Chains A and B, each alone.
Chain A
Amino acid sequence: MKDTNILIVGVGGQGTLLASRILGRLAMNCGVDVKISEVHGMAQRGGSVVTHVRFGYHVSSPLVERGQADIILAFEKLEAYRWLPYLQENGILVVNDQEIDPMPVIMGISKYPEGLSQKLKFRCGQLAWIPGMKIAEQVGNLKVTNTALLGALARYLEASPETWQKAIEETVPPKTVEANRKAFSMGYAIQEETK
């Protein structure tokens, strides 16, 4: 696989960490160098979280810098917008169609930004809206939203769906393999909205 920088963003507790680990496993199985920088501890408690995934021939820094991400996989709309400066021009944005109000919005101090779909579309090369939660509901396990999103992401990477399924199998808890495989396939099958 060619040198790729991916940013996975979302809200603490949404399962971004597992998604990044599946990606890491995938890269390893494809025989390329890979680094993932994760967030643990306090920020995991409902805060804005970001995981950096970089793979290619040789990776030094584990961090994706501003304007460097080839793809941003966003688990939440506002977070997609917040991290947008990290996307390179004409980068790909895969967004879970979900809004989670942050505390200042809940308290009425600030407003959840309006018209995000238009704003996001305006500022990236390609945009895919993914109903991750709906897929997870159909699978019958809300926790597999992350693999549904990975399915959508997989369309933009070189690895085959079979390689992905293997990486999923090797990473998720054994009991949830089937649900995760199914969510991935459904995410992969989505015909995304492109620009």
Chain B
Amino acid sequence: MLGNEGVARGAYEAGVRVAAAYPGTPSTEIAETIAKYDEVYAEWAPNEKVALETAIGASIGGARALVCMKHVGLNVAADPLFTVAYTGVNGGLVVVTADDPGMHSSQNEQDSRYYAKAAHIPMLEPADSQEAKDFTRLAYRISEVYDTPVLIRMTTRVSHSQSIVTLEERQEVGRKAYHKNSSKYVMMPGMARQRHIFVEKREAELSKAAEQLSVNRMESKDPAIGIIASGIAYQYAAEALPDASIFKLGMVHPLPIKRIEEFASRVKKLYVVEELEPILEDEIKSRGISVIGKELFSRQGELSARIIKEKIARTTPRPSCLPEELPERPPALCPGCPHRGAYYVMKRLNLTVVGDIGCYTLGALPPLDSVDTSICMGASIGMALGMEKARGRDFARKLVAVIGDSTFIHSGITGLIDVVYNQGITTVVILDNSTTGMTGHQDHPATGKNIRGNPAPILNLYALVKAVGIPNVRVVDPFDIEQAEKILKEETEREEPSVIFFQRPCVLLSKKSGLPCFINHESCKSCGSCLRLGCPAILKKENRIGINQQLCSGCGLCQNVCRFHAIEGGSKE
């Protein structure tokens, strides 16, 4: 099973009763998997902060609880995280964060291990799916014994690698009693000062416990080379240098310093092999142990067995042997994607587009080339207001914020309130494809379904936007290019804030596959206007435009942009 499935299975076996998450690659499958167990209440929360708060509530309520997110999601949830570190738990509480070294599907490669240090919370890091399961079970024991939330750090290669796992039975742990305890759970200054003392004491105890934990283990082999590693870096090191002695850390915070000292004394040369930041290295060096780390390895991207071999065993790199440069194959919006129509129009109107996080970030790539910025979930609306305040209203009339439906619910609503309250005139485009697209089609509060696919109340986004105080709310089909252009023009020119819903479901969700379009070569002038849509199905070979019949979804957008009516077929409603 996947590492993510291993975490879910471990939580299930540990008797978890409540699980909450917001989807985010590479963490999404944890919640999707745990939702399949009837014994566990599982939910998609609107964002990671709410997810963590739900889990904290469940924990204080006496149940074992799980919350999962990607690394940047932990930023959103950081506020409750730092204080639940003080209150501690009742039922065990485990927070899973999945880092993405190499940024396979993320906007940065921050290192979540800093959170463990900063919040004084223990952190476990599994190296494969079996450990993902076992460490999750262990995390619940640590959480309840030491009265602490426990972080589990996954990375893409552990989350999304499959390996063999031995399953065990679920252990029903029962719900602990709930007693009101304001000195533990109400963090006003007076109480929090007392809890801060507890936090320090707890960390000292955990440091002692780390020396005993069997997940921190010494693999003593040839003493010439010693390596300290955790997570996927351990696997790479074991692969690269099978004869080296390895100290494998299962707990990356706090560290078993005494055992590391002992290990250091047994080996001739000591290396720390870790992806991203030199967190283990700095900590170990600060205790006066000399190690080699980032002077050999980059803070950027992923490690591999090859890199470790080249750096430590000094093998010569194997040259790449392709004699020619190949065309790259960047990801693209799918054929039939509704976002394509939206960006086509925005580009035609020459708008500045303050973008957000989702599939629609792909609109930044050529030939659509329409997105000016993308920072984090929900940032578009506040940023558009900021640009308006910086550059004035004339600029704002050529400016839109673009955000998806799921992202809008996640953290766009407060930005919109800011626009209304502070009298901006920003136009906000909500690309409403009725799903959370990029992460693989998870439901959210406006889809009418919960995580299990059962019916749920539907959040009415139109009414919500109206209630926030947006005077002008419009709805348009992004494939109706003329109408979309007209509405965008009207609303951006207005001296009031507006919201336009570009509404059309994600093409990957539509059940029926459409009839493909094709070119009528008698009418086609090869003008190339359809090529500017950046549709993977439309291509030009030997000066002739053609449509790939296997890829075309028959959406008909290209028919709407062709002035010569040279595109036929399709399955327009």
What CA separation (Å) do A124 and B279 show in the bound complex? Answer: 43
Q: A90-120 interface mask toward B, CB cutoff 8 Å, 1 = contact, 0 = none?
A: 0000000000111111111111110000000
Q: How far is the CB of B436 from chain A (nearest CB, A)?
A: 12
Which stretch, B112-120, B154-162, B197-205, B482-490, touches the partner chain A? B154-162
Are B160's CB and A39's CB within 8 A? yes
Are B157's CB and A65's CB within 8 A? no
Q: B1-43 interface mask toward A, CB cutoff 8 Å, 1 = contact, 0 = none?
A: 0100000000000000000000001101100000000000000
Are A40's CB and B536's CB within 8 A? no
Q: How far is the CB of A134 from chain B (nearest CB, A)?
A: 12
A40 CB contact (under 8 Å) in B26, B164, B305, B327: B26
B176 CB-CB contact with A under 8 Å: no
Residues of A within 8 A of B331 (CB): 12, 42-47
What CA separation (Å) do A45 and B507 show in the bound complex? Answer: 12
B236 CB-CB contact with A under 8 Å: yes
What CA separation (Å) do A67 and B236 show in the bound complex? Answer: 16
Query: Which residue on B lies nearest to A145, using beta carbons?
Result: B550
Are A112's CB and B163's CB within 8 A? no
Q: A118-145 interface mask toward B, CB cutoff 8 Å, 1 = contact, 0 = none?
A: 0000010000000001000000001000
B174 CB-CB contact with A under 8 Å: no
Which B507-549 residues have C-beta < 8 A from chain A?
A: 531, 534-536, 538-540, 548
Residues of B within 8 A of A4 (CB): none
B169 CB-CB contact with A under 8 Å: no
Residues of A within 8 A of B390 (CB): none
Are A13's CB and B334's CB within 8 A? yes
Pick the most buried of B164, B538, B540: most chain A CB atoms within 10 A of its CB: B164
Q: B359-370 interface mask toward A, CB cutoff 8 Å, 1 = contact, 0 = none?
A: 100100111000
B320 CB-CB contact with A under 8 Å: yes
Are A40's CB and B440's CB within 8 A? yes
A11 CB-CB contact with B under 8 Å: yes
Q: B228-250 interface mask toward A, CB cutoff 8 Å, 1 = contact, 0 = none?
A: 00001001101100000000000
Residues of A within 8 A of B536 (CB): 46, 100-101, 103, 106
B268 CB-CB contact with A under 8 Å: no
What CA separation (Å) do A110 and B538 show in the bound complex? Answer: 15
B328 CB-CB contact with A under 8 Å: yes
A66 CB contact (under 8 Å) in B128, B235, B320, B330: B320
Pick the most buried of A33, A62, A84, A112: most chain B CB atoms within 10 A of its CB: A62
Are A47's CB and B326's CB within 8 A? no
B157 CB contact (under 8 Å) in A13, A41, A62: A62
What CA separation (Å) do A102 and B365 show in the bound complex? Answer: 13
Size of the A side of the interface (Cβ < 8 Å), in residues, is 53
What CA separation (Å) do A39 and B102 show in the bound complex? Answer: 12
Question: Number of residue pairs across A and B with beta carbons under 8 Å?
Answer: 159
What CA separation (Å) do A25 and B111 show in the bound complex? Answer: 33
Query: Which residue on B lies nearest to A123, using beta carbons?
Result: B321
A78 CB-CB contact with B under 8 Å: yes
B383 CB-CB contact with A under 8 Å: no
B420 CB-CB contact with A under 8 Å: no
B105 CB-CB contact with A under 8 Å: yes
Residues of A within 8 A of B438 (CB): 41-42, 45
What CA separation (Å) do A151 and B30 show in the bound complex? Answer: 32
Residues of A within 8 A of B163 (CB): 33-36, 59, 62
A28 CB-CB contact with B under 8 Å: yes
Q: How far is the CB of B311 from chain A (nearest CB, A)?
A: 14
Q: Given that A34-B164, A78-B326 are contacting pairs, would A62 and B550 also be in contact in the complex, using a CB cutoff of 8 Å?
A: no
Query: Which residue on B lies nearest to A42, using beta carbons?
Result: B105
B394 CB-CB contact with A under 8 Å: no
Are A60's CB and B235's CB within 8 A? yes
Q: How far is the CB of B108 from chain A (nearest CB, A)?
A: 14
What CA separation (Å) do A188 and B483 show in the bound complex? Answer: 53
Residues of A within 8 A of B161 (CB): 35-38, 62
Are B366's CB and A39's CB within 8 A? no
What CA separation (Å) do A3 and B489 show in the bound complex? Answer: 62
Residues of B within 8 A of A110 (CB): 327
B439 CB contact (under 8 Å) in A41, A62, A107: A41
Q: How far is the CB of A4 from chain B (nearest CB, A)?
A: 15
Q: Give B contacts to A, CB under 8 Å.
A: 2, 25-26, 28-29, 104-105, 128, 157, 160-164, 232, 235-236, 238-239, 304-306, 318, 320-322, 324, 326-334, 359, 362, 365-367, 438-440, 531, 534-536, 538-540, 548, 550-551
Query: Can you list 9 residue pairs at the A/B interface with Cβ under 8 Å?
Result: A45-B438, A47-B329, A78-B329, A82-B326, A84-B322, A103-B365, A104-B327, A110-B327, A133-B550
A-B pairs with lowest CB-CB distance, top 4: A41-B105, A41-B25, A47-B331, A102-B329
Given contacts A41-B439, A46-B331, A111-B327, 6 further A-B contacts (CB under 8 A): A36-B163, A42-B331, A65-B304, A106-B531, A107-B531, A108-B540
